[in-house]
Chain A
Amino acid sequence: EDQVTQSPEALRLQEGESSSLNCSYTVSGLRGLFWYRQDPGKGPEFLFTLYSAGEEKEKERLKATLTKKESFLHITAPKPEDSATYLCAVQKHGGATNKLIFGTGTLLAVQP
């Protein structure tokens, strides 16, 4: 069964304290892995797409990496405005749709 598992469920960091969020996946034929940021009561905001193992992408304090079984979202020197829920989703090859299969997210709180 296709599955996406994110850990930890919640993470509290001090401003400037770097850390990583994990997304492990089990899917037959990965087309792409997506990271989104979601603020409370809002829609997910796109961050990154990764397509193949070994790929890395960066944006400001965030860096996403991909292996054959998992992805990491590294946060370097976070600021309070980075506080949000970070969602990971996968897209499979085949089928009629490009639907996303999401994990339950990691709730990140960055304290000043």
Chain B
Amino acid sequence: ETGVTQSPTHLIKTRGQQVTLRCSSQSGHNTVSWYQQALGQGPQFIFQYYREEENGRGNFPPRFSGLQFPNYSSELNVNALELDDSALYLCASSPDPGSRETQYFGPGTRLLVL
């Protein structure tokens, strides 16, 4: 196991609601990335946090937002949920965004939007 944890494991929401997903990074890692994985697809990069600041973002709208805390854990918030937001949300931690170090993934949060 990687040491990256995520909560909750599963979540059901209705369209228009808001959701918060949580991630604890591996010990010694100060960088957390979030990915969205739709069924049958590869993970898509949402954004990355490094030392409590967002330092890069993929092609996702502003209703996807995040936070990183001093202990390097992170939250992903999604407002105004849409049906297409149903997916597996993955967080990955790594030591430094400028390195070639491997990103280690958590088990994911399965979100279903009805």
Q: Which residues of A contact B (CB under 8 A)?
A: 4, 31-32, 34, 36, 41-46, 49, 51, 87, 89, 91, 95-105
Contacts and interface: CB of A to CB of B under 8 A. Distances in A.
B97 A96 contact: yes
Nearest to A105: B42
A100 B50 CA distance: 15
Nearest to B55: A96
A39 to B, nearest CB: 10
Nearest to A88: B42
A87 B99 CA distance: 21
A35 B43 CA distance: 13
Contacts, number: 80
B94 A41 contact: no
A98 B108 contact: no
A21 B73 CA distance: 35
Contacts of B108: 41-43
Contacts of B97: 96-98
A48 B45 CA distance: 20
24 contacts: A31-B100, A41-B88, A41-B110, A42-B107, A43-B2, A43-B90, A43-B107, A44-B90, A49-B100, A87-B43, A89-B43, A96-B48, A97-B97, A98-B48, A98-B96, A98-B97, A98-B99, A99-B56, A100-B33, A100-B35, A100-B92, A100-B103, A102-B44, A104-B41
A49 B90 contact: no
Contacts of A101: 45
Interface in B1-42: 2, 4, 6, 31, 33, 35, 40-42
Given A43-B2, A97-B33, A97-B97, 16 more contacts: A41-B110, A42-B108, A43-B107, A45-B2, A96-B48, A96-B55, A96-B56, A96-B97, A97-B45, A98-B48, A99-B48, A100-B45, A102-B43, A102-B44, A104-B40, A104-B41
B66 interface: no
A32 to B, nearest CB: 5
